[in-house]
Amino acid sequence: MSITCGPCNLSLINLACRRVINAWHCWHLANIDPKQDSLSVATAMSEAANGLPAPWTVRYSKSKKREYFFNPETKASQWEEPEGTDHGLLKQYLAEHPVRVRCLHILCKHSDSRRPASHRSEHITISKAEAIEELQEIQRRLESGESFESLAKERSDCSSYKRGGDLGFFGKGEMQGSFEKAAFALKVGETSGVVETESGVHLIKRVQ
């Protein structure tokens, strides 16, 4: 029997193929174990994402200021990488998805800050707009080559000014929301634009 490859016959063939494929999909969905399937997918994604053997995850210790490893099934936790870890992949994952960062910042408080006082002034009266203007001038000075640390010592209203604005390491949940979001979005060596919090307005530089 010969088959004429005209438009009508091709349409019928395509329709038949689609029906076969749809029927197979229906059988497949009816015969899989959803829990097992989702677990295997999640396991594969976890291993591919962070280099850790499933079901290990990496977390952050606020008291020790460092990451640790946690097994949600056994509730075990440890500082050392679990056996079977792909160290290179884990290092890459942490570089792209840090659990902690180390930042410098310059804080300019204003009259509407949560506590409008600092080592520089017992009663800060400048407006938020004026504080932003000061930070924009600092940005220009940074672009011209002045160091972040020296400008923090000169102008920051935070007590960290003594350390050149260094806040040390911190994880998620330790800073105000907008500050945290900006800090974790930075790559090492990058400086943010003006960031507003209840404390005032900031420039943030990520150093680690």
Catalytic amino acids?
Answer: 105, 158, 176, 199, 202
Residues 6+ apart with CB under 8 A from 94: 58, 67
| CA-CA-CA-CA dihedral for 56, 65, 102, 153, to nearest 10 | 170
Q: What is the DSSP code string of 57-114?
A: EEEEETTTTEEEEEETTTTEEESSPPTT--HHHHHHHHHHS-SEEEEEEEEE--TTSS
Sign of CA dihedral 173, 207, 69, 90: positive
